[in-house]
Structure 1
Amino acid sequence: MLDLLQLLGQHEILLVSCPLFFTVLLIFFLALIRPAAAKRKLLLPPSPPKLPIIGNLHNLGRHPHRSLHVLAQRFGPVMLLRLGNVPVLVVSSADAACEIKKTHDLTFINQPKLSVTQKLLYDCRDVASAPYGEYWRQMRSICVLNLLSNKMVKSYRAIREEETALATVYIKRYCSSGLPVNLTELFSATTNNVICRIALGRKYNEDKNKFEKLLSVFLELLGTPNVGDYLPWLSWVNYVNGFNAKADKVAKELDEFLDGVIEEHVNRHNRHENDQKDFVDVLLEIQKQDTVGFPIERTSIKAIILDVFSAGTDTTFTVLEWAMTELLRHPKAMKELQKEARKVSGGKSSISEDDLHNMQYLKAVIKETLRLHPPIPTLVPRVSAKDVKINGYDIVQGTHVFINAWAIGRDPSSWEKPEQFIPDRFLNNPIDFKGHHFELIPFGSGRRICPGMLLAMQINELLLANLVHKFDWTLPGGASEKDLDMTECIGLTIHKASPLIAIANQCSV
């Protein structure tokens, strides 16, 4: 009898526990399949076919902006790639760029953490790559107030005009002999000298060639996709192919140069109180006074100086190089710009910055150059901080974003005859490059728009205006405009792969 009762008791326990067990099992099973079900419900952008493991890494090619443009023509202006383990959204339309840079600016406010950026930019202590937050706000404010504001840009007018005058004197030496001028070298040297004098207080001619080469390799490395960022288990490849060794060498040599610049300023004893302070002086003074609410380390000062140089020299002279290239390819546009320059000058020997606001065709030439040749074609990559919808598509947190400004500038839905160089399209046209018109965003838009845009444009406009005002230009050896090599280099900043060489003939103004 006792055995029977025990058996019944066990049976009741089973009757109670079995439903409970199956309920827990069902909940566990639903928890496992829910992410997959949710994933099936996501409306993802169209994607090109992927290869196992590497995904779409093979689609990037030597010039990603061109390769991505071709893909976008097949898969649409909003498409999703898979670079190794990382989802990458590629945007090639003004509407989608507006959603990212305006509607969802805060969601895409940060750059992805890339190993080469951390290595070369002092673990992202600069302004361009620093995470959005108090440090970034304070560092950006320091740069704008003390270097890049309208007031400060105007205060450095004499430096720009002096270096422009020196550039024209340099060209005159070649006029009598008929020798060709290396315009790429001239544009690089002039912009470098302007930035050196503004930011560092003097030219560094003794280190000029070495520093320019370092900066070139620096920008090439920043623009080279790093397989380890997309496939971490293949990070060892960067040791085998020499990428890491190259990055370490550049980082070390740039650091030594910047340390020398800072030490020179710290140990300077012959400065007069009335002397204009350069940007390094300002940074050291802020460091000493500790006025930003947290200590500014030397690492931060070096990172910011490097930002100023990389953005202020290479990207600036790239615009000049492409503008002059397009003018040489389009003689009618060149003559129109020369006509405007010589009319505005009123018989003066040179064009000053006061004259520039009357040169509407000059501004149109530069806008058209920026449309066809944005210095950083895919802009600085961003990463999604949360799940978001773009053009109706679901974009998951952690997705990297490339905005192909190069492709947007060639979008036939925004531009008539998009492949042709037609500066006249910008005459009586409100579209500008200041971040409000997403058909033209070579400097980005939103909170992270390039703060050095005004300084760069002042350098570009003044130098280009004086070069077409004082000289007539032809290609060497009687070459025609069709013979100009338009091949692009590789790297973060895209300029001509071969130097721009031209013959200058001084004209009587």
Structure 2
Amino acid sequence: MAWLPMANQWRILRKISKEQVFSVPRLEASQGLRQEKLQKLRDYIHECSVNHQLVDVGEAAFITALNLMSATLFSVDCAQFDSDSTQELKETIRAMTKVVASFNLVDFFPIFKSVDPQRVMHKSKTYFGQIYSILEGKINERLKLRAASSDYVEKNDFLEALLNYSQSNPSEFPKDRIKHLLLDLFVGGTDTTAATVEWVMTDLIRCPKVMLKARNELWDVVGRNNKIKESDISRLPYLQSVIKETFRFHPTGPLLIPHKAEVDTEINGYIIPKDSQIFVNIWAIGRDSSIWPNPESFDPERFLRREIDIRGQDFDLIPFGSGKRICPGFPLATRMVPLMVATMIHNFDWKPEKGMKPEEVDISEKFGVALQKAVPLKAFPVKV
């Protein structure tokens, strides 16, 4: 969906995604599902704190996001904490997003397409094939269940909705396109969420005073022993400011998705020719000193002093894009990221690996479709 032009097929996929996954009624109905995944995350962190065990924060966030998406799409969990198969799936998804974002000589010299000198196409087919195999297995399994019994009880998940829609509109949305849309949501909703949470936790561990202030806000608003609900998010302005500051400092999609000029367009005296591919460098915008005072410092309070919306209206901060092509998963991401971060810090303090000071926690970046940490974040949770 991200790569399609704004034609009929793109509109159909956006419509289905909006109505069947990201609409307010759907999200409200699936709150219990998210609470279940957050409880598993909370239990895992608690177990690690009791055993004085180091937590790979990015992997914990990845598993939580992956299980949320797989349960939303297929009504099953796809991953377990401390599982080798989970690590393999994570590496496959990360490798897939990396190869999609990699420089390919063939894009500039199509004559080399049959040779594939950098083996980009070969790698793409391998990684995409592995994910498609998982998705096709889920689709075929569901089709067999639907065909096996006349009194089959439909599941309340996205796959069921897609199969019903395809059955009612076969020419508009044939079954062979289901796996492609599932891929967009399965990968896009997992890797970017996990990467964002890992960056937020990195910034908080590097700034213990900020973490303490965010935790105190949670205790004041939610209480020390109460579970965090989605309705609490709007009452946590400091936590929201922390997440906005991370979006500015480490945007998950540093160049957004590619855009294309539909007509010749003039911007600030520059002519953008028709069909030009356009990248929006929001990473650079977030570090522009003419927009942001002290852009290299992590300062969540800048968003308490300045009201700014991340829904695509304030172009100084557009982590999800803007306009008609804004990320369709925005409504879910703005629920999941605050909830996951709040779950991690509500009853736990976090200490870096032994012998390391907070300010020494690595913040080097690794470029891809999603901006990853070059060095995974590992830290000790301490019950408070």
Task: Give the TM-score category using the shorter length.
Answer: over 0.9
* Corresponding position of 2:22: 148
Residue in structure 2 matching 1:254, options 101, 110, 131: 131
2:161 paired residue number: 282
Give the corresponding residue for 2:93.
215
Structure-1 separation of matches of 2:54 and 2:90: 22
Structure 2 residue 312 is matched with structure 1 residue 444: no
What does 1:327-366 align with in structure 2 at a 5 Å threshold?
A: 327-366=204-243
Aligned to 1:104: none
Residue 313 in 1 paired to residue 190 in 2? yes
Find the aligned partners of 2:52 and 2:128 in 1 and give their Cα distance.
Answer: 41
- Return the offset for 1:202: 0.7
Cα distance per residue 1:15-39 (max 9 Å; x no partner): xxxxxxxxxxxxxxxxxxxxxxxxx
**1:418-429 maps to which residues of 2 (within 5 A)?**
418-429=295-306
- TM-superposed CA distance for 1:380, in Å, is 0.9
Deviations 1:304-327 (A, max 9, x none): 000101210000111100000000
What's the TM-score, normalizing by structure 2?
A: 0.93
1:505 corresponds in structure 2 to 382
Aligned residue for 2:43? 169
Structure 1 SS opposite 2:372: coil
Corresponding residue for residue 103 of structure 2: 225
Unaligned runs of 5+ in 1: 1-126
Q: Equivalents in 2 of 1:247, 1:396: separation in Å?
A: 30
Say whether the 8 Å CA contact 1:350–1:470 is kept in structure 2.
Answer: no
Does the Cα contact within 8 Å between 2:104 and 2:118 map onto a contact in 1?
A: no
Partner residue, 1:41: none
Cα distance change on mapping 1:272 and 1:392 into 2, 3 Å: farther
- Tell me how far apart the structure 2 counterparts of residues 279 and 286 of structure 1 sit (CA, whole Å): 10
Correspondence 1:106-505 to 2 at 5 A: 127-205=1-79, 208-235=86-113, 238=116, 240-268=117-145, 276-290=155-169, 294-505=171-382
Tell me the C-alpha RMSD between the 2 structures: 1.9
* Contact 2:224 2:346 (8 Å CA) reproduced: no
Deviations along 1:332-382, whole A, 9 cap, x unmatched?
111110110111122434222222221111100110000111111011112
1:497 Cα shift? 1.8
Q: Secondary structure of the residue that 2:366 maps to in structure 1?
A: coil
Distance 1:371 1:442 in 2: 8
* Residue in structure 2 matched with residue 103 of structure 1 by the alignment: none
Q: TM-score, normalised by structure 1?
A: 0.71
Q: In 2, Cα distance between the equivalents of 1:494 and 1:443?
A: 13
Instruction: Judge which range, 252-261 or 160-169, deviates more.
Output: 252-261
Which residues in structure 2 correspond to 1:11-26 (within 5 Å)? none
Q: Secondary structure at the match of 2:288?
A: coil
**In structure 2, the residue corresponding to 1:503 is in which secondary structure?**
strand
Please give the alpha-carbon distance, in whole angstroms, between the structure 1 residues aligned to 2:150 and 2:217.
Answer: 43
State the AA in 1 paired with 2:317.
Answer: L
Per-residue Cα deviation, 1:193-230 (whole angstroms, up to 9, x for no partner): 11110111111238634432221111011111211112
Q: Distance in 2 between matches of 1:386 and 1:214?
A: 38
CA contact (8 A) 1:367 1:432 kept: no
Q: Percent identity?
A: 32
TM-superposed deviation, 1:406:
0.4
Give a deviation string over 1:109-142, Cα, whole Å, max 9, x none.
Answer: xxxxxxxxxxxxxxxxxx2112211221111101
- What is the aligned residue count? 378
**d(CA) in 2 for partners of 1:351, 1:378:** 33
Unaligned ranges ≥5, structure 2: none
